[in-house]
Amino acid sequence: MKAASNRLGLLALAIALTGCAALEGDKIDYKSAAKGSTLEVPPDLTQLSRETRYAIPGGTVSAAAMQAGQAAAQPTGTANAAAVALGDVRIERNGTQRWLVVNRPADKLWEPVREFWLDNGFTLAQAEANVGIMETDWAENRAKLPQDIIRSTLGKLIDSIYSTGERDKFRTRLERTSNGGTEIYITHRGMQEVYSTITKDTTVWQPRAADAELETEFLRRLMVKLGVSQEQSKAVVAAAAPAATNPMARMDKVNGVPVVQLTEGFDRAWRRVGLALDRTGFTVEDRNRNEGTYFVRYVAPDTNKKEPGFFGKLFSGSSPATPPLKYRIVVRSQGDATTVSVLNEAGAPESSANAERIVRVIADDMK
């Protein structure tokens, strides 16, 4: 009790002296919640159990560093996409989306990308080379904490008292291109701790909006990992700034089946659906771009008992009472019009409440 009282006293002193200290929001200093006892993992946010067939192959593969100022790589012909390149790495953008295209095979990039997240203070909660997906554990950006004289002087003694009340998780998806290269997407998911009562005596974790600036910053840092200099990476990211917003996604029903309607062609719609699935935490078991299909797992909410809400169930681990269901998210395009729908595991159109929830989550993320 005495130790706890002393800690609270130090916290009160720090608050009194620092007042409205500025947060160093422009810096990134992540510490995974799985690395120390001072950070709490947001409740009900564990991933679904993984299958052993997705084990990472052994062995370490190094990526060769590039010479600065090499000739820009030729674009792959992605429709309506702007590209800025250095050597065999370039950043492309389409509307508000950005991703990297690297002229190296995905299996040569897996280990450097894995090392990249570990070097940035994260632990990996998921790493499935067969489907090209890795995901970090929940982590806190300690650079957002006030850098005041009290914290600088007392160091670790008072560091455990501080918390930003936010946790972040990042998913990286590697997709092979037709010419043997790789597209790399990074998506962010965030949670924040908020008071759940007027008296402010209890808190709950709830989702917060994905941070596009964080996604872009980690894409830039990954470029550096792959051989681009700090200065060049900042220049090409600035040159690839989005010039337009994404077209709106509209929920609809076709023959009684809930769908998302998009006014864009297949390539862009495929990317947007993939990013929406990544940001909203679906477990993607496999995908087939040629057929326009994502194979996902989903945990349906149990309406017969008190639940933490749809997002809580979407992010939560499975249990014997609520086994995960398997669905196919299908992207079908005709010219500049695309329809996104849900099929069941057997490939039949799904019109259930679960399908409507899934379609709504995808549409909401695209807005």
pLDDT of residue 44: 41
Q: What is the mean pLDDT of residues 128-155?
A: 76
pLDDT of residue 143: 76
| CB 88, CB 103: distance < 8 Å | yes
Q: Is the pLDDT of residue 37 over 60?
A: no
How far is residue 153's CA from residue 346's CA, in Å, rounded to a whole number? 62
Range 247-367: architecture per CATH: 2-Layer Sandwich (3.30)
Task: List phi, psi (to 5°) of 44.
Answer: 60, 35
Nearest to 156 by CA among 254, 31, 279: 31
How far is residue 338's CA from residue 265's CA, in Å, rounded to a whole number? 6
245 — pLDDT class (breaks 50, 70, 90): low
* Ranges assigned E (strand) in 110-243: 124-128, 133-136, 139-141, 166-176, 182-195, 203-208
Q: Is the pLDDT of residue 72 over 90?
A: no
pLDDT of residue 27: 73
DSSP symbols for 234-293 = HHHHHHT---SPPPPPEEEEETTEEEEEESS-HHHHHHHHHHHHHHTT-EEEEEETTTTE
Class of domain 1-245: alpha beta
Provide the residue ranges of all domains of the chain, joining segments of one domain with +: 1-245, 247-367
Q: Please write the tens of the pLDDT for every residue from 302-346.
A: 545 444 444 454 444 444 456 788 999 999 999 899 999 999 999
161 — pLDDT class (breaks 50, 70, 90): low
Q: What is the mean pLDDT of residues 141-164?
A: 60
pLDDT of residue 228: 92
Looking at residue 143, the DSSP 8-state letter turns out to be G
| CB 320, CB 330: distance < 8 Å | no
196 — pLDDT class (breaks 50, 70, 90): confident
* Ranges assigned E (strand) in 142-181: 166-176
Task: List phi, psi (to 5°) of 276.
Answer: -65, -40
Element spanning 363, H or E: helix 353-366
83 — pLDDT class (breaks 50, 70, 90): low
Nearest to 266 by CA among 173, 330, 338, 329: 338
- Model's pTM, two decimal places? 0.70
Mean pLDDT of all residues in the chain? 75
Give me the count of residues in the chain.
367
pLDDT of residue 157: 52
First-to-last CA distance in the chain?
Answer: 50
Block residue for tokens 């909006």: 209
Higher pLDDT, 109 or 40: 109
**347 token code pair:** 């490939």
